[in-house]
Structure 1
Amino acid sequence: DVNGNLVLVTSLGEIQEMAPYAFQEYNGALKKVDCNFNLEGNRVTFDFPNGYDAEVELVIDPSLIFGSYTGSFADNFGYTATYDTAGNLYGGGIVFAAGYPTSTGAFQTTFQGGMAGNPFPSGFDIGITKFNPAGTAIVWSTYVGGTTNNEQPQSLITTENGDLYIYGRTFSSDYPITTGAYQTLLAGGSDIVVTKFSGSGTLARSTYIGGSGNDGLNIHTSFFQNSLYFNYGDDARGEIMLDNQANVYIASCTQSNNFPVTSGVLQSSFGGGVQDGCVFRLDSSLTNMAWSTYLGGAADDAAYSIKVDASQNAFVAGGTNSTNFATTNGVVQASAPGGTADGFISQINATGTALIASSYIGTSAYDQCFFLELDAARNVYVVGQTLGTFPVSPGVYSNANGKQFIARYDPGLTTTQISTVFGVGNSTIDISPTAFLVDRCGFIYVSGWGGSVNFQGTTVGLPTTSGTFQSTTDGSDVYLLVLDPDAAGLQYASFYGGATSAEHVDGGTSRFDKELRIYQAVCAGCGANSDFPTTVGAVSQTNNSTNCNLGVFKFAFEPQDVLASYQAITLDSCAPFPVSFTNNSIGGVSFEWDFGDASPVVNTFNAFHIYQFPGTYTVTLVVTDS
């Protein structure tokens, strides 16, 4: 097509293979090579219009759909990203001045300002950019902010019809709030903000949520480890999710003893310490609070991740220093394991009035759970960090002394089904997780970043797989990992980053979609570099600022599932009935046809069968991928 993608037309519709991305590696630096698909009859080859170095390995990787900077001329940090059903990528970050690439007619085309020293030398606004599916154009792009202080985005999500919700925090008393919002005034300190844009970039709804203290701020904004603030960017933890009725759920934290909670919830008062976790549900118009509750004990607590099941029960994961964090009977860890921090998982009922299940997760050292996912059976997966001896199940892939853990529990949190660790095996953590997915076949996907911007660790020595997108690292890159179902093996692992800049994330969530593509936000090119891997034709292949740019990439993983599909054509209307079956399956290597009339099964790709007698027959095609 016009974007260089390969389009295959089948009876099931179009299948699109994104335009190839090719590169060669020189002393750890990636040099892009112009590459196109070339179609001659039924044969697809690659064309290199400007040639390439025949003496150096050439890597052609159609899995990279696109990589781009925003192209901002203002310093622009990278926080969060998401997607919509059309495959557009939404990137969010903060912007320190005029010069961000806003679109014509955008909500805010000018920099609103802010307050210096909170915590950076100059004030900042939110910057949101919607990239088209190929990353070749900006659909819309805008500032979002008030004039009196600073704000930042921390998690993004879209609805089925393409509306965008932003969860973030603001210190501004004039942050954009809409008429009829649940809370129209800044309550004090920083407040959580929830803002909704239409698919075309029009401000639809926006509200504050908060009390007189700091809300949506995990511990502090100073750049040193303290309590639950363990990684650079941990101040911006928390997640926004939607249920099947488009209600809005937030998992976050509050330092307010008067945070807006609703009556009858599981915890109506502040538990103690510097902060508690908080969890709440708003309607889609951000007008009505269905329920809102604290979640914490006598010390510091924070809620980082939330998922909602079909019955609107909310599963929450996070970190705690409290020895009296609320747990339920019979769970895997009802008592605090100790150490500088512990992880936790809590299942809250649909009305926010009770805990269905709640457990600590961890060792006698430091542990936190940063992301949570549910599979089709409502089993609970978490990914986090540990400095202890986290248990490793028999038969799983693991790296000795790994400091990142993945675990799966039953919905009631009574049984550890699988548990493993991965990493270099040093005494420090390696990556700070930014995205997590369990697909419909049980494969486990993790994204994170590590390196010099963090307080510890490096990406050097993390495992990679053969033929991966990027097998080398400068020690400060994004890291992508895929494990087999039940964590039985390493399916894929790669780095993503340049050879000069220390790629990192300033805080916030990125996301995998159901088609196994990641939409990742990165703080890229810091130091006025342009070494972040970008694709030809992207919105911007250069960092135009004197420091950093929000970098984004959309990367497709190879689907591991299989689709069984066929079309039946009756060749004659009289008995006996000959029927021709055309196999339209995807991903299979062996096939079994059962024609439903007690005849022998057939193992050919396509099939032909004669029915001897009139009747109704159920035809079954079983496709196996290994």
Structure 2
Amino acid sequence: MYPAILFLSALVSVKSASAQIEFVQNKGQWDSRVVYRGDFSSGSFFLENQGFTVLLHNVADLKNVSDQLHGHNPNLATSGQPVTLRSHAYKVKFLGTSSFASAQIVPDKIQSYQNNYFIGNDESKWATGCQLSQAVTYKNIYPNIDVRYYSDGDHLKYDIIVHPGGNVNNIALQYAGVDKVQVKNKELVINTSVGDVKELYPYSYQVLETGRQTVDCKYVVKDNVVRFKVDDYDPKTTIVIDPRLIFSTFTGSSQDNWGYTATPAPDGSFYAGGIAFGVGYPVTAGSFQTTFGGGVNEDNTGPYDIAIIKYSANGSNRLYATYLGGTSNEQPHSMVCDQQGNLIVAGRSTSPNFPKTIPQIGVGGGYDIIVTKINAAGTAIIGSVKMGGIEDDGVNIRGKYVPPEGADATRRNYGDDARSEVIVDAANNIYLASSTRSSNFPVSTGAIQATFGGGRQDGVIIKFTPTLSSVLFSTFFGGSGDDACFVLSQNPVSGNIYVAGGTTSSDLPGDKTGVLQGTFQGAVDGFVTQIINDGSAIVKTTYQGTTGNDLVYGIQFDRKGFPYIMGTTTGNWTVTPSTIFNNPGGKQFISKLQPDLSAYVYSTVFGTNSSVPNLSPVAFLVDRCENVYVSGWGGGINNLKQFPSAGTSGLPEVSPLTNIPAADGADFYFFVLEKNGQSQLFGTHFGQNGSVGDHVDGGTSRFDANGVIYQGICANCGGAPSTPGSCPNAFPTTTGVWGPVDASSNCNEAALKIEFNIGPVVCDVLAGPNTNGCAPLTVNFTNLSTNGLTYVWDFGDGSPISGVFSPSHTFTAA
């Protein structure tokens, strides 16, 4: 058996302006007590011999200083008055050890570049070749106990590593220079004069030969000294305590700003899209549309333009913000980035002068479908189209404020009128699934379905060139009833496009022989159809339904080309196999299908045992490890607008987020299902407590490939507190973000980013106690990798391959 280790990890809620915090070696350029220094967006972090010091600046003061220095604020720049920068430093010291100064300090993840410092005219303060690393380990700060500092994304994190023979009860961290240290909602809160710092509630686990086992760990505070209380752990095993990360921010718009859609960029930055009802959205100089385009009151709401904002990966900075619209009304339904970080926005518009780069496609009239591609800097439109027939296009059944209220055919939730999805392929071609009420909607020559199928509306499927300069194909998809294409995805193996949504038609187009459900089941059914990538033919179509109301709101693929669908039902959805995880009577479904749509691989339901769904789903993902993620909201405005919803009360909380307002039944809810439907890995609510509840007014959001949610939310409707934290039930935002408060008198779009720490395999290894020395040399390898199923260790000396989780190996020769 390998020597096992206990890990205690703390994540400090200071964040870097860049993607990683780097630790710079001190070679005399700073105070001699400093060993390494790291900088973040509002201060610095100094590693010392017996602990560390945190320097914090007031965020508002820091912005004023920056504005004055760069001339961005003419009042400050010309006033001649000094600008105050309030700061606060506090020190954390490891108590009870006299050997800290002799600890071995080992940098790792060393960067290929170095820093040089020439400070003042004192050459003793000049330093060259200062090494930068992304992690630093102090070995044996206590007997058999190490501490490792590193950057987890843009957050600072430290692990306290207890080797066999070490005693976790010896660890004591004394906080000096703070106003107060306390535990709130299981998190460590350090109160300072310039704001609070949080060390988030830790997720703990033992590292066993067979993998990881969860362990309970708590902060214990007395007289500003922090200790760890670890329950029921084996001192011969490894424990890791790993917090999860959150950023949550408002746009800061002073005008009413409703939330619709969000998507990640390749670099982890965050796009949020909604609508703004006039001047007051926080646009940036140089963005392609800095003025409100105008609008009218139509469908009992308006005027409004699309409003888009791009945040840095940590949410601390607005990278750009812009309007998108003409003299009438626009709204976004779906956004996605291409590989270069350019943003594609799809939605609808009634503006005759909507900004476009090619002439109107089709005769137009009412709402038309719009698709716009914006460069990554937000300074220019790469391509833009407006496309439609004489009736409303891009509208599912009718607008949300067009009477009568309530559910109707494929419109089952508030915001369902604005359902459609845009995606891109590897060649940056753009695909759209949406709906039309126009019998003369423009279709391409040789379209799969050239004529309107009947009923009040059909679905439409469109493929554009990467710059939106032309349409590659356009087709109706529908039968004699009401049909809506909500979502689509590309099979990574065949390249074919799978489209899904809802229908009341018993005669959908496509070959249905040998599929799961070849006939309409009644009321409203979901459907999945597979089409050739060039739009030349339908391969197969299957219904997905019960005798109740069923709709497919998400479709994704695993790497092997198996499609997964997600949606809601009011019937009895198939659960198979019988041993799979499920919540009996749940009205949200997840099903994995064979690629030819012939059978389920598995199918399950989750939610409370109710007659109607809990959620209006808005985001869906299958990650690289085949875990399945769902985001949705329920209750609140759904019930207010006569849409049947059981709300989010009673949904299971598994490893939930902490330090957020109590659930009120009208929140967002995030759910993660383990591969093959084995168990629920995660479940939490998120939102304010009270008012009309958290929701979207239409549109979809996205998870990235690692399982990080990028969620747009229409939040804090009804107004907001004037200062962060002044109302404990308000929508929760995080420290240091761009928009900590709702600046309008009503709603602000919130951007929420959560990392669930469940995603794909990440390789990370520690070696010790020594990694060099005379033979024979025994090295213990501690495996910190995540989500691996099997491990292969090749020690490079001709010895047999090892498959244990964390091996120990003796090297007998150099």
Secondary structure in 1 matching 2:447: coil
Partner of 1:453: 637
Residue 391 of structure 1: how far off its partner (Å): 1.1
Is 2:381 aligned against 1:203? yes
Secondary structure in 1 matching 2:417: helix
Asked if 2 retains the 8 angstrom alpha-carbon contact of 1:19 and 1:65, the reply is no
Alignment match of 2:308 (pick from 124, 128, 135) = 128
Asked if 1 retains the 8 angstrom alpha-carbon contact of 2:778 and 2:808, the reply is no
Alignment match of 2:713 (pick from 502, 512, 522) = 522
Is 2:281 aligned against 1:92? no
Secondary structure in 2 matching 1:92: strand
Residues 245 and 55 of structure 1: CA distance in aligned 2, closer, same or farther (over 3 Å): closer
Task: Determine the C-alpha separation between the residues in 2 that align with 1:594 and 1:528.
Answer: 60
Partner of 1:368: 551
Partner of 2:755: 556
Task: Determine the C-alpha separation between the residues in 2 that align with 1:17 and 1:402.
Answer: 36
Residue 382 of structure 1: how far off its partner (Å): 0.7
Partner of 2:589: 405
Is 2:317 aligned against 1:137? yes
Task: Determine the C-alpha separation between the residues in 2 that align with 1:515 and 1:71.
Answer: 28
Partner of 1:622: none
CA deviations 1:397-432 (Å, max 9, x no partner) are 111211111111010000111111111112221110
Structure 2 unaligned segments of length 5 or more: list them.
1-13, 24-106, 112-133, 135-149, 163-170, 189-199, 202-242, 722-729, 772-776
Structure 1 unaligned segments of length 5 or more: list them.
21-35, 572-577, 613-626
Q: Which moved more, 1:526-535 or 1:42-51?
A: 42-51
1:340-355 maps to which residues of 2 (within 5 A)? Answer: 340-355=523-538
Residue 212 of structure 1: how far off its partner (Å): 1.5
Task: Determine the C-alpha separation between the residues in 2 that align with 1:204 and 1:476.
Answer: 39
Asked if 2 retains the 8 angstrom alpha-carbon contact of 1:173 and 1:186, the reply is no
Asked if 1 retains the 8 angstrom alpha-carbon contact of 2:656 and 2:685, the reply is no
Alignment match of 1:287 (pick from 451, 466, 469) = 469
Is 2:807 aligned against 1:605? yes
Alignment match of 2:653 (pick from 447, 450, 464) = 464
Task: Determine the C-alpha separation between the residues in 2 that align with 1:77 and 1:291.
Answer: 33
Task: Determine the C-alpha separation between the residues in 2 that align with 1:364 and 1:199.
Answer: 46
Residues 334 and 581 of structure 1: CA distance in aligned 2, closer, same or farther (over 3 Å): same
Secondary structure in 1 matching 2:529: strand
Task: Determine the C-alpha separation between the residues in 2 that align with 1:260 and 1:549.
Answer: 36
Residue 529 of structure 1: how far off its partner (Å): 2.6
Partner of 1:227: 409
Residues 105 and 285 of structure 1: CA distance in aligned 2, closer, same or farther (over 3 Å): same
Partner of 1:3: 16
Residues 601 and 87 of structure 1: CA distance in aligned 2, closer, same or farther (over 3 Å): closer
Residues 7 and 396 of structure 1: CA distance in aligned 2, closer, same or farther (over 3 Å): farther
**Which AA in structure 1 matches 2:530?**
Q
Residues 346 and 50 of structure 1: CA distance in aligned 2, closer, same or farther (over 3 Å): farther
1:189-268 maps to which residues of 2 (within 5 A)? Answer: 189-201=366-378, 202-221=380-399, 222=402, 223-268=405-450
Residue 52 of structure 1: how far off its partner (Å): 5.3
Alignment match of 1:114 (pick from 295, 299, 307) = 295
Asked if 2 retains the 8 angstrom alpha-carbon contact of 1:265 and 1:293, the reply is yes
Residue 326 of structure 1: how far off its partner (Å): 2.3
Is 2:355 aligned against 1:171? no
Partner of 1:390: 573
1:529-548 maps to which residues of 2 (within 5 A)? Answer: 529-530=720-721, 531-548=730-747
Residues 589 and 264 of structure 1: CA distance in aligned 2, closer, same or farther (over 3 Å): closer
Identity score, percent: 37
**Which AA in structure 2 matches 1:216?**
G
Asked if 2 retains the 8 angstrom alpha-carbon contact of 1:479 and 1:496, the reply is yes
Partner of 2:681: 491
Asked if 1 retains the 8 angstrom alpha-carbon contact of 2:661 and 2:688, the reply is no
**Which AA in structure 1 matches 2:387?**
I
1:37-116 maps to which residues of 2 (within 5 A)? Answer: 49-51=178-180, 53-54=182-183, 57-58=186-187, 60-61=200-201, 62-116=243-297
Partner of 1:477: 667
Residues 46 and 18 of structure 1: CA distance in aligned 2, closer, same or farther (over 3 Å): farther
Residue 234 of structure 1: how far off its partner (Å): 0.3
The structure having more radius of gyration, on CA atoms, is 2
Residues 607 and 563 of structure 1: CA distance in aligned 2, closer, same or farther (over 3 Å): farther
Alignment match of 1:17 (pick from 139, 145, 152) = 152
Task: Determine the C-alpha separation between the residues in 1 that align with 2:530 and 2:791.
Answer: 42
Q: Which moved more, 1:79-88 or 1:185-194?
A: 185-194
Greater RCO between the two (CA within 8 Å, min separation 6)?
Answer: 1
Residue 118 of structure 1: how far off its partner (Å): 2.6
Alignment match of 1:436 (pick from 581, 595, 620) = 620
Secondary structure in 2 matching 1:593: coil
CA deviations 1:261-282 (Å, max 9, x no partner) are 1122221111000110110100
Asked if 2 retains the 8 angstrom alpha-carbon contact of 1:368 and 1:386, the reply is yes
Asked if 2 retains the 8 angstrom alpha-carbon contact of 1:243 and 1:309, the reply is no
Task: Determine the C-alpha separation between the residues in 2 that align with 1:442 and 1:459.
Answer: 25
CA deviations 1:492-546 (Å, max 9, x no partner) are 0001101124111111110000122110000001001351110111111111111
Q: Which moved more, 1:344-353 or 1:469-478?
A: 469-478
Q: How many residues align?
A: 587
Task: Determine the C-alpha separation between the residues in 1 that align with 2:305 and 2:655.
Answer: 42
Residue 472 of structure 1: how far off its partner (Å): 3.9
Task: Determine the C-alpha separation between the residues in 2 that align with 1:280 and 1:581.
Answer: 57
**Which AA in structure 2 matches 1:286?**
L
Residues 563 and 504 of structure 1: CA distance in aligned 2, closer, same or farther (over 3 Å): closer
Task: Determine the C-alpha separation between the residues in 2 that align with 1:38 and 1:445.
Answer: 28
Q: Which moved more, 1:466-475 or 1:203-212?
A: 466-475
Residue 90 of structure 1: how far off its partner (Å): 0.4
Residue 182 of structure 1: how far off its partner (Å): 6.2
CA deviations 1:17-63 (Å, max 9, x no partner) are 2567xxxxxxxxxxxxxxx8679999997979553555864472553
Is 2:520 aligned against 1:332? no
Residues 419 and 289 of structure 1: CA distance in aligned 2, closer, same or farther (over 3 Å): same
User: What is the aligned-residue RMSD (CA, Å)?
Assistant: 3.3
**Which AA in structure 2 matches 1:171?**
T
Asked if 1 retains the 8 angstrom alpha-carbon contact of 2:706 and 2:760, the reply is no
Task: Determine the C-alpha separation between the residues in 2 that align with 1:493 and 1:12.
Answer: 37
Task: Determine the C-alpha separation between the residues in 2 that align with 1:46 and 1:448.
Answer: 42
Partner of 2:496: 313
CA deviations 1:290-348 (Å, max 9, x no partner) are 1111111001001111111344311111000001112421000000011x200000110
Scaled by the length of structure 1, the TM-score of the pair is 0.86
Alignment match of 1:301 (pick from 483, 486, 498) = 483
Task: Determine the C-alpha separation between the residues in 2 that align with 1:134 and 1:12.
Answer: 23
Partner of 1:421: 605
**Which AA in structure 2 matches 1:284?**
P
CA deviations 1:107-126 (Å, max 9, x no partner) are 22121211113331x31100
Asked if 1 retains the 8 angstrom alpha-carbon contact of 2:336 and 2:423, the reply is yes
1:589-600 maps to which residues of 2 (within 5 A)? Answer: 591-593=791-793, 600=800
Asked if 2 retains the 8 angstrom alpha-carbon contact of 1:406 and 1:419, the reply is yes
